Amino acid sequence: MSNKSINAILNPPPAHSVGDGFYVHNFFPSGHRIKMSPFFLLDYNAKTELAPSDVPRGVGVHPHRGFETVTLVYHGAVAHHDSAGNAGVIYAGDVQWMTAASGVLHKEYHESNFSKQGGLFQVVQLWVNLPAKYKMTAPKYQSLSASNIPKVELPNGASVSVVAGNFQQTQGGASTFSPLELYNIKLLKGNEIQLPSPSHYHTAILVLEGALLINGEERINTNQMAYFNQDGETINLSATAESLILYLSGEPINEPIAQYGPFLMNNAQEIQQAIEDYNTGKFGYLED
C-alpha cells in the first residue's frame, strides 16, 4: 500500500477568544481553507498556564443545530450543561461528544475547583457535520471518560486511544453517524506507527506535544498540523521526541453546506428555520 502524500504542514493561525475562557487557534475552516469533511471546524486551545479565578471563565448559553461538538481535554477541566438535561465535567483524557442534531442550548466553563486553583489548560473542540438525514434527529450525549476509551497498547510504550472508529480491530468509544476515525496517539522517542486511511478520506494530524517525521521525509513539530491529500492508504509516523498526536480522518459527506454561526445545515431555508425555532424557544431553556 502506498503512503498518503502531505498536502501541507500548517502552522497555528493567530489565536482568538471564544467567550472569556478559551483562547483558540482555528485551524479550519477560517484559519486554513482545507477540505476536512465530515469535520467542519477545529479549535485548538494550545497549552496555556491559567491564573486562578474565583469566577469560572467560559462560554455562556448558545444554540447548536445540525452537527456534533466533540471536546477533548488534555489539561484542565471543563464543566458543561445543555438544555436536554445533560451536565458533567470533562477532565484530562476525557471526551464530551454532544450530538446537537435538531437543536440544543449549551454552555461550557472551566470547572470551579480548577478555576480557583488555575493551572495548565489544553483543549481541542471539533464540529462534526451530520448527513442531511440525521440533522433533525433527537439530541444525544456521549460521555467518554479516559478510563473507558478503548486503548491499543503497542510495543515499546506507544498507545492509541480510539475515541471513534476502529484501530487494529479495537472499536472506538463513540458511535458516529458517518465513517470517521479519531484517535489520541502517544509515542515515545524512537517509536514508529503505521496508520491506515482510505485514499478518499480527508485526513490530518495535530501534534499536541513532541515532534515527528512523517513518511520518513517531512518533519512536524508541536502545535502544527499535517494535512494530507486524498491518495494513498497509509501514514507512517516516527517520533523524534516523546509525542502526543490527535489523528482525524473521515469519509467526506458530499452534500451542500449552509452555515450561520452555530447552525450547520444544507440550505438557506433550513438556516432561517433554525433561527426562527431558536427565537421561539424550541431549543428549550438553559439558565446562563
- What's the pLDDT tens digit per position in 221-270? 999 999 999 999 999 999 999 999 999 999 999 999 999 999 999 999 99
- What's the pLDDT tens digit per position in 87-101? 999 999 999 999 999
Q: In sequence order, which residues have a C-beta less than 8 Å from that of residue 107 and are 6 or more positions away?
A: 58, 59, 60, 61, 62, 80, 81, 82, 286, 288
Q: 3-state class of 193 per DSSP?
A: strand
**Residue type at 28 in one-letter notation:** F
Does pLDDT of 287 surpass 90? no
Backbone φ, ψ for residue 71 (5° rounding): -115, 120
Distance CA 7, CA 198 (A): 16
* Percentage with pLDDT > 70 across the chain: 100
Residue 283 — pLDDT band, cuts 50, 70, 90? Answer: very high
pTM over 0.95: yes
Across the range 167-196, mean pLDDT stands at: 97
Residue 77 has pLDDT above 90, yes or no: yes
Report how far residue 47's alpha carbon sits from residue 53's, in angstroms, rounded to the nearest whole number.
Answer: 18
- Indicate whether 156 pLDDT > 90: no
> What are the two backbone dihedrals, phi and then psi, of residue 148, each rounded to the nearest 5 degrees?
-110, 15
pLDDT of residue 138: 95
What's the mean pLDDT when you consider all of the chain? 96
**Positive or negative: CA dihedral 75, 123, 18, 142:** negative
212 touches 192 (CB < 8 A): no
Check residue 176 and report its DSSP letter: -
Q: Name residue 183's beta-bridge partners.
A: 162, 247
**What is the pLDDT at residue 288?**
80
Question: What confidence score (pLDDT) does residue 256 get?
Answer: 98
